[in-house]
Amino acid sequence: MENKKYLACFINSPDNNLNPLIVGNSLLIKKICENFEKIYIINFQNLTFFSNKTKFSKYKLDKNLKLPKNLEFISPFNWKEFSIFMVGKELIAIHFLARGFPELKLHLLFKKYKIKFVQVTNIGNIQGVYRPLKSFFLRGVLEKIKHDYSHKLTVLLSNLGLIPKIEIRFVTNSRMFEYRKKNNSFFQKIFNYFNLHFAKELMLINSRSFDEVKEQKIKVNEDNIVLLDAPFNNPQYTTFRGKLDQQSLEKHYYHMRKFLKNLSEFYNKQIVICIHPSENLETAKKNYSNFKVTQHETRENIFKAFIVLFHDSSAIIDAILLKKKIIALTSKIMDQNQIDGVNEYSKKVGILKIEIDEDLKINKDDFLSKLEKNKEKYFNYIKYNIAPDGNNFGYEKIIKTLKEKFF
């Protein structure tokens, strides 16, 4: 009897938290659920190397978020459970997994089940390049080695046929195609000629921000000043420098509150703080007392923004696409990797930078004029990184390709 084909999303969430996946990909998930009979979200946290196995009875999802009825979540406790689940099924999986050493076990075992993988890289943000920091050099070097070599090992094993490759990678960065054509060295020539990349094929699509803005048609206004708050103790930073102490954080939030209050008074606008889906809402409300703090409402608030402030957030892509006035913020508690990320947005997009620990001394009219002028610099970034595929919905291209190639 022929196995039945299903579409799945593969994730690795240590605490069974679905909020980052659902919030970040809400429109894509909604549309694929409308176009396929059943979709599985499978959390492989228990099946990686070095996992602390937990028998999950339920997943974490904000009560205001609603899942389509044909979306089913499973978290297998071991490979036997996953094998039983796979009986009678053939999966085409959207790959949301990392390529670290813990996930290597997954990639090796997926080969047994002949799962076909696609990947969706449609955020359009600037990817940070993390380097060892002077004060944490050894820690940073070890993390860099672990990160780089796990990636290289995954690619090597895929070329040896020991783990599955990505069949199609949907990308928003149009310059990735130029990279694949570069033959600056003998190694690059061999790599490109034999297509030794982890993804067999690249397909250009517009970003999820483009899709959301075009689909929702939310009314744009300039009612508020919106801060996209940064989770400073996010693992992407702490692996290189450890967690920031409470005293440093409190000092940072003191300067942030002072800066926001001044900006609010300059332009007579309400301040709205948008926090990351993985952050604690009650803690954020304490950090930003006297300001409105929201979670899972970032896009709606960017639409209503007079000015958008950020440290490092992929949500800034919405603001760039909408050509909002944007300020990139730096702080004394930020490490060099975070500051480099802000500098990249300033250099590649033309966004104004401000150091929040210093008193804000501006002529409010000249300052606004400068922010308006900087918006002219967004054009090239939007063209090559956010909306490189004309006026086409990215999700439509993904769904059409999945149906034609795999179903």
- Distance CA(281)–CA(146), nearest Å, equals 32
Q: What is the pLDDT of residues 318-343, one digit of tens each?
A: 999 999 999 999 998 888 888 888 89
The predicted model gives 239-248 an average pLDDT of 82
* pLDDT beyond 80 at 264: yes
Q: Which residue has the higher pLDDT, 101 or 318?
A: 318
Quote the CA–CA distance of 110 and 167 in Å, as a whole number. 14
- Which tens digits make up the pLDDT trace of 383-394? 999 999 999 999
Least confident range from 113-117, 175-179, 297-301: namely 175-179
pLDDT interval class at 132 (50, 70, 90): low
| Mean of the per-residue pLDDT values of the chain | 89
pLDDT score at 226: 98
pLDDT level of residue 131 (50, 70, 90 thresholds) = low
What is the structure's pLDDT at 201? 95
pLDDT score at 102? 87
Scan for tokens 């069974």, then name that residue.
16
Pick the closest to residue 298 from 275, 280, 332 (CA basis). Answer: 275
Q: Which of 268-277, 337-346, 358-367 has the highest mean pLDDT?
A: 268-277
202-221: per-residue pLDDT in tens?
999 999 999 999 998 778 89
SS3 call for 151: helix
Evaluate if residue 243 carries a pLDDT over 90.
no
pLDDT of residue 14: 82
Q: What 3-state class would DSSP assign to 163?
A: coil
* Strands of the 352-355 sheet, one edge to the other: 292-295, 270-275, 224-228, 305-310, 325-330, 352-355
- Of 305, 294, 301, whose CA–CA distance to 223 is shortest? 305
Nearest to 91 by CA among 74, 68, 105, 103: 74
Side chain identity at residue 239, one-letter code: T
Residue 272's pLDDT band (boundaries 50, 70, 90)? very high
Per-residue pLDDT at 16 exceeds 80: yes
**Of 177, 153, 62, whose CA–CA distance to 101 is shortest?**
153
Q: Output 315 or 337, whichever has higher pLDDT.
A: 315
Residues 133, 129: Cα–Cα separation, whole Å: 12
* 126: amino acid identity, one letter: I
Asked if 208 and 27 touch (Cβ cutoff 8 Å), the reply is yes
pLDDT in tens, 66-100: 889 999 999 999 999 999 999 999 999 999 998 88
Structure tokens of 332?
Answer: 């004394």
Residue 190 scores a pLDDT above 90: no
Predicted pLDDT at 63: 80
- Residue 333, phi then psi, degrees to nearest 5: -85, -10
Q: Are 43 and 73 in contact (CB under 8 A)?
A: yes
pLDDT at 235 over 80: no
**Is residue 136 scored above 70 in pLDDT?**
no
CA gap 338, 308 in Å, rounded: 18
- The predicted pLDDT at position 29 comes to 95
What is d(CA 224, CA 222) in angstroms, rounded to the nearest whole number? 6
Task: Please state the rounded mean pLDDT for residues 269-274.
Answer: 97
The residue whose two tokens read 């940070």 is: 128
Pairwise CA distance, residues 163 & 157, whole Å: 6
Instruction: Indicate the pLDDT class of residue 186, thresholds 50, 70 and 90.
Output: confident
Please report the pLDDT score of residue 253 as a whole number.
92
Question: Which range is most confident: 16-20, 150-154, 287-291?
Answer: 287-291
Least confident of 80-84, 154-158, 222-226, 354-358: 354-358
Angstrom distance (rounded) from CA 77 to CA 54: 7
What is the model's pTM? Answer: 0.90
- Alpha carbon distance 403, 407 (integer Å): 5
Integer Cα distance of 235 and 51 in angstroms: 17
pLDDT of residue 129: 67
| pLDDT confidence bin for 130, thresholds 50/70/90 | low
Count the neighbouring beta carbons within 10 Å of the beta carbon of residue 190. Answer: 11
